[in-house]
Amino acid sequence: MKVEQVMTVSPATCGLDDTLAQAMERMWDADCGIIPVVDDTGRVILVMTDRDIAMASATRGLAPGNIRAREMRHKPVISCRPDDGVQHALRLMKTHRVRRLPVTTTEGVLHGIISIDDIAQCAGSGEPVTAVELLDALKSVVAPATAAQVAATADTREVFRGRPVRG
């Protein structure tokens, strides 16, 4: 089964100049926990989760309406393509410990979002993802971070505190 068969089409997005409050409102309206930040061409620049927004606001002591999306942490966007198999998307989620992936074109233009929930909905129904594979990926996503993973995110904590990292 292909990613495009189970992904959410036309997900909520925000722009670089939108505030985190605006992003949260779009997330609320769309009942989702992630929002891609896109440029004028629709290319995904970064993704923000509800947790990212809460942490940025709390660590800076600022209301979400006083922080722009462009001020958020920038780490590589992990994405998949519409014609990738759902097993490939699941492996990316497991490897990168994320629950959701933007689905993009080869140029990085947003096409949709696939979540581990989307994959769970098709698991066990004769599709190529087994319940064991799904559980294995989910365990990786929810497992506590290792010391090396925590150390690798030190630069993103500085961004939460309002000290942008170059890159």
**Is the per-residue pLDDT at 119 higher than 90?**
no
Q: Which residues contact 52 (CB under 8 A, 6 or more apart)?
A: 72, 73
The total domain count for the chain is 1
- Quote the domain boundaries for residue 95: 3-143
Q: Which amino acid would we find at residue 46? A: L
What rounded mean pLDDT belongs to the chain?
A: 84
76 is a domain residue: yes
Q: Are 49 and 34 in contact (CB under 8 A)?
A: yes
80 is a domain residue: yes
122 is a domain residue: yes
158 is a domain residue: no
- Confidence label for 73 from pLDDT (cuts 50, 70 and 90): confident
**Is the per-residue pLDDT at 110 higher than 90?**
yes
